[in-house]
Chains A and B, each alone.
Chain A
Amino acid sequence: ILNVEQSPQSLHVQEGDSTNFTCSFPSSNFYALHWYRWETAKSPEALFVMTLNGDEKKKGRISATLNTKEGYSYLYIKGSQPEDSATYLCALYSGGSNYKLTFGKGTLLTVNP
C-alpha cells in the first residue's frame, strides 16, 4: 500500500502572506506527481504534473518543486489571495496499467482578507 502524506492538514494565512506545504511519497515507487486545487463544489483543477527529479514548475503565483530521491514535493504560493482558499491535493502515479492515482489527504488553505 502506497502512503502519500501531506502536511500541514490545514493552514490559515493572511492575504499577502506567502505559504508552502509538503507532499511526501515513497521514492521507490515514483513515475509522476500531480498537484490539484479543489474548491468546494467544483472539479479538482490540475495545477502541475511533475516527473523529473529537480523539476520546478510555476503557474502565476504558484510554484512547485520535486525531489524524487528523497520522496517529497513542495507547493509554494506567493502573496496569497482569498481566491487561493481551497484544498490542495497531491497524487502519486507509480506506474501500472490501471493509471491509478494515490492521493494524500490534502492541505486545506484558508486565506483571510
Chain B
Amino acid sequence: GAGVSQTPSNKVTEKGKYVELRCDPISGHTALYWYRQSLGQGPEFLIYFQGTGAADDSGLPNDRFFAVRPEGSVSTLKIQRTERGDSAVYLCASSLKGNHEQYFGPGTRLTVT
C-alpha cells in the first residue's frame, strides 16, 4: 500500500519567507510525527499528533514553527520568517495509534538562502 508521502521533496526559500511542508500519512494511522535532521545531526523530534490534536509539541524550536492536522490525516508544518538555521531535512512519520514503530516519509529538504 501507499507509504507516507511528503511534498515538496525540495524547497528553496529566501530568509524571512514563510513556508509550508505537507505530510500525507499512511491511511488509517492516527498518530503522526515530525522530525528535523540538520546537517551533521540525527533526526530530532519536533511534534507528535494523536488524531487532530498536538499531543506533544515540546520539540518545536521556537514560536516561528507551527503544525496542524485539522482532519486527523494530512499534516502541515508551517515555518514563519525562515532563517538560514532552519535549513534541514524535515521528516514525517506515522503509526497506528501512538507507537514507537513509526513509518517514515522521504522527507522535505528545506534550504533557506
Contacts and interface: CB of A to CB of B under 8 A. Distances in A.
Contact of A103 (B40, B42, B58, B98): B42
A43 B102 contact: no
A44 interface: yes
Contacts, number: 66
Interface string B1-40: 0011000010000000000000000000001010100001
Q: How large is the interface on B (under 10, 10 to 19, 20 to 34, 35 or more residues)?
A: 20 to 34
A101 B45 contact: yes
Interface in B98-113: 98-107
B42 A93 contact: no
B44 A103 contact: yes
A32 B102 CA distance: 12
Interface in A87-113: 89, 91, 93, 97-106
B42 A43 contact: no
B100 A99 contact: yes
B100 A101 contact: yes
Interface string B57-90: 0110000000000000000000000000000000
Interface of A: 4, 6, 31-32, 34, 36, 41-44, 46, 49, 89, 91, 93, 97-106
Interface of B: 3-4, 9, 31, 33, 35, 40-45, 48, 55-56, 58-59, 91, 95, 98-107
